[in-house]
Amino acid sequence: MPPNYDVIVVGAGPAGGMAALSAAQLGLRTALIEEHREVGTPIHCSGKLQLHAFREFNLPSHLILNTLQAGRFYAPNGAVARVRRARPDSHVVDRGVFDRWLAVQAQEEGAELVVGTRLRAAERLNGTIRVTGERAGRSYAATARVVIDAEGARPVLPRTLGLDLPRRSVMGLQYQMSGVDLDGNDCPEVYLGTSSSPGFFAWLMPIGPGRGRVGLCVDPAFAPRAPLYYLERLIREHPVASRRLRRAVIEQKLAGPIPVISRRHRSTTDGMIVAGDAAGHVKATSGGGIYFSLIGGQLAAGAAAAYAGGRRAALTEYG
């Protein structure tokens, strides 16, 4: 019996959305499966994306919340390094809108979007991959020649096919706030020091006049407490951040792990390709992953097309 699809993409974040879009453009029968009922929720990152990514992937300007041109980096002793470029270097995007736009583009190219579906396992079956889970309280199953796993930092399906993805993650927490006393709408701030965020750093990312995302990540190996403790203390006590946020009101809370530390490992197994956060496609120094996820998703689609066409070595070449 032929499979339902040529490729199933699991997870509709930047990696999954780009993988589904690219696969559909290559003529593959594509399904994009998202566990949440709406693509783009919940949001896990600050949304910073460099200008060259907009050019490289032809991204539309309506995704932009804010444009950045400067930066301030605060040392624990209060010293500050100021940077200002001659021209803007990055944008902040609305990740919910961004992810939904990618999913819509994929659908317009012919991909099928399946939301509200939590997949639990994958298995090899007669030369295909069969994924199973639940949708709307009922069992769900579908088959494909290849699966692109873009579940995020805590993927479930790879290990059910025997693919181990060892890594360490930092734990992030971020508040989106209004009433922020920004020094400049184009100037994010980075707060360094183990007392602020053990094992990583904290930040204030402007997303528009009087609005910003304040957050941090901590490495569990160095942080005896949860991220909430350090973020609340940053807001109350940090000599700079506390002044910026003294009248700020929380609009939204965003949290999640970021896989930034890992040894080199395979990101494919027979019938499956892993992309995005699931594969550790992030910038280790900052945890930024949108750009690398877009690249990973695009490359995964190309490898999936070659594999579905009979070139088994395509997965090894991907990684």
What are the structural domain ranges in the chain? 1-47+94-167+262-319, 57-93+168-261
- Compute how many other C-beta atoms are within 10 angstroms of the C-beta atom of residue 58: 6
Q: What is the Cα–Cα distance from 281 to 149, expressed in whole angstroms?
A: 13
Q: Tell me if the bond preceding 42 is cis, omega within 30° of 0.
A: yes
- List Cβ neighbours of 250 (8 Å cut-off, separation of 6 or more): 175, 176, 177
Using pLDDT thresholds of 50, 70 and 90, give the confidence band for residue 260: confident
Cα-only R_g, the chain: 20
Across residues 21-27, what is the average pLDDT?
Answer: 98
**Is residue 263 over pLDDT 70?**
no
Which element (helix H / strand E) includes 92? strand 90-93
**Is domain 57-93+168-261 classified as CATH 3.40.190.10?**
no
Residue 268's pLDDT band (boundaries 50, 70, 90)?
very high
C-alpha torsion 28→33→39→43, nearest 10: -110
pLDDT of the residue at 261? 59
The string of pLDDT tens digits covering residues 284-319 is 677 788 999 999 999 999 999 999 999 989 988 897
Distance CA 240, CA 318 (A): 45
Domain pair 1-47+94-167+262-319 / 57-93+168-261, same fold: no
* pLDDT for the residue numbered 319: 73
Calculate what percentage of the chain has a pLDDT beyond 70: 98
pTM for the model stands at: 0.93
Tell me the pLDDT tens digit for each residue of 41-96: 877 677 899 999 999 999 999 999 999 999 999 999 889 999 999 999 999 998 89
- pLDDT score of 287: 75
CATH topology of domain 1-47+94-167+262-319: FAD/NAD(P)-binding domain (3.50.50)
- Mean local confidence (pLDDT), 250-254: 91
Taking residues 191-219, what's their average pLDDT?
A: 94
Q: Are 212 and 205 in contact (CB under 8 A)?
A: yes
Q: Does residue 256 surpass a pLDDT of 90?
A: no
- pLDDT score at 79: 93
pLDDT at 262: 59
CA dist 74 and 143 (Å) reads: 51
Task: Concatenate the DSSP letters of all residues of 124-176 into one string.
Answer: EETTEEEEEEEETTEEEEEEEEEEEE---SS-SHHHHTT-----EEEEEEEEE
Mean pLDDT score, 119-141:
96
Answer yes or no: is pLDDT of 170 > 80. Answer: yes
pLDDT tier, 147 (very low <50, low <70, confident <90, very high otherwise): very high
Degrees to nearest 5, angle at CA 258 with 253 and 262: 170
